[in-house]
C-alpha cells in the first residue's frame, strides 16, 4: 500500500494495529464509569439489560473514532470552552447515576423481578451516554490517534482500527455482563444488593468529581 506516495509494507500496519489494540485493551479493562455502569446494570437489572448497555458503550466508540479521524477531537482538546462543556456534561450525568445508586433500598427476589427494568433502547442509551460524556475517553482516543497512529496511515486503515476497538469494547463488557449475572452472583446480590448499589453510587460520585477536575493536559 502507499501513503504520501511512498510504499508502506503491510506489516507496518499490523505493528501499528498491535500497539493500538494493546493500548485500548489496557484502557478498556481498567476500572472506570463504563465498568461501573455495566456492573450495576448486571446486578440490578440482569443480563439482557447489561448486554444492551454494553452494546451502547461499544457503539459510542464509533463517535470517538469519527471525530478523531475528522480532526474534530483536536478542536475539543485545544479549546478550553469545548472541553469544559464536555467534562461538566459528563460529570453531571455520572453524578446523577451516583445519586440514583445511593437511593437504593433493600430488595427481595420478588422486588427484583417487579422492579422497572429499562427497555433495550433505554439500556443502550445509558451505555452510550456514559461513554460519550466521559472526557477522559475523549482524550484517550485523541491521544491514541496522535501519538500511536501515524498521520501517513490511510483513513481506511484507521477506520479498521476504530472498528476493532468498538467491537472489542462491546465484547469485553458483554463478557462482564455474563460473568456478573451468573446465578450464584445474583443470589448473593439479593442479600447485599442495596449495599453494592450504594457503594457503586459512591464510585460514580468519585468519577464525577474526577471528571469535573479533569484538565486537557
What is the C-alpha to C-alpha distance for residues 2 and 152, in angstroms, rounded to an integer? 9
The domain total for the chain is 1
Is 22 contained in some domain?
no
- State pTM to two decimals: 0.70
Instruction: Tell the residue number behind the cell numbers 478498556, with chain if given.
Output: 28
Q: Where are the alpha helices (DSSP H) in 148-182?
A: 155-179
Q: What is the pLDDT of residues 106-153, one digit of tens each?
A: 655 444 444 567 789 999 999 999 998 887 787 778 777 767 787 788
What is the C-alpha to C-alpha distance for residues 9 and 173, in angstroms, rounded to an integer? 34
The SS3 assignment for 195 reads helix
Is 27 contained in some domain?
no
Is 217 contained in some domain?
no
Q: What is the pLDDT of residues 29-41, one digit of tens each?
A: 777 889 889 988 8
Q: CB-hemisphere CA count at 13 Å for 204?
A: 26
Q: How far apart are the first and last CA of the chain?
A: 35
Grid cell, residue 144, equals 491514541
Report, in angstroms and rounded to the nearest whole number, the Rg of the chain calculated over CA atoms.
Answer: 19
Percent of the chain with pLDDT over 70: 71
**Which range marks the domain in which residue 165 is found?**
33-212
DSSP state at residue 108: -
Is 24 contained in some domain?
no
Is 14 contained in some domain?
no
DSSP state at residue 183: H
Q: What is the pLDDT of residues 183-203, one digit of tens each?
A: 777 666 666 656 666 776 777
Amino acid at each position: 500500500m502507499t501513503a504520501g506516495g511512498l510504499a508502506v509494507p503491510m506489516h507496518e500496519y499490523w505493528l501499528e494495529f498491535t500497539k493500538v489494540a494493546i493500548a485500548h485493551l489496557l484502557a478498556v479493562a481498567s476500572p472506570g464509569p463504563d465498568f461501573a455502569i455495566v456492573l450495576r446494570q448486571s446486578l440490578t437489572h440482569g443480563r439482557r439489560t447489561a448486554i444492551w448497555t454494553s452494546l451502547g458503550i461499544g457503539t459510542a466508540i464509533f463517535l470517538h473514532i469519527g471525530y478523531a479521524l475528522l480532526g474534530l477531537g483536536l478542536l475539543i482538546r485545544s479549546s478550553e470552552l469545548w472541553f469544559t462543556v464536555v467534562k461538566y456534561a459528563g460529570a453531571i450525568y455520572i453524578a446523577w447515576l451516583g445519586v440514583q445508586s445511593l437511593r437504593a433500598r433493600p430488595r427481595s427476589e420478588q422486588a427484583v423481578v417487579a422492579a422497572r427494568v429499562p427497555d433495550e433502547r433505554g439500556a443502550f442509551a445509558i451505555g452510550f451516554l456514559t461513554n460519550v460524556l466521559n472526557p477522559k475517553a475523549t482524550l484517550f482516543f485523541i491521544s491514541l490517534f496522535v501519538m500511536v497512529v501515524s498521520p501517513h496511515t490511510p483513513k481506511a486503515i484507521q477506520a479498521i482500527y476504530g472498528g476493532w476497538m468498538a467491537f472489542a469494547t462491546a465484547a469485553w463488557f458483554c463478557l462482564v455482563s455474563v460473568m456478573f449475572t451468573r446465578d450464584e452472583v445474583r443470589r448473593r446480590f439479593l442479600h447485599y444488593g442495596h449495599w453494592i448499589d450504594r457503594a457503586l453510587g459512591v464510585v460514580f460520585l468519585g468519577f464525577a468529581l474526577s471528571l469535573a477536575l479533569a484538565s486537557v493536559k
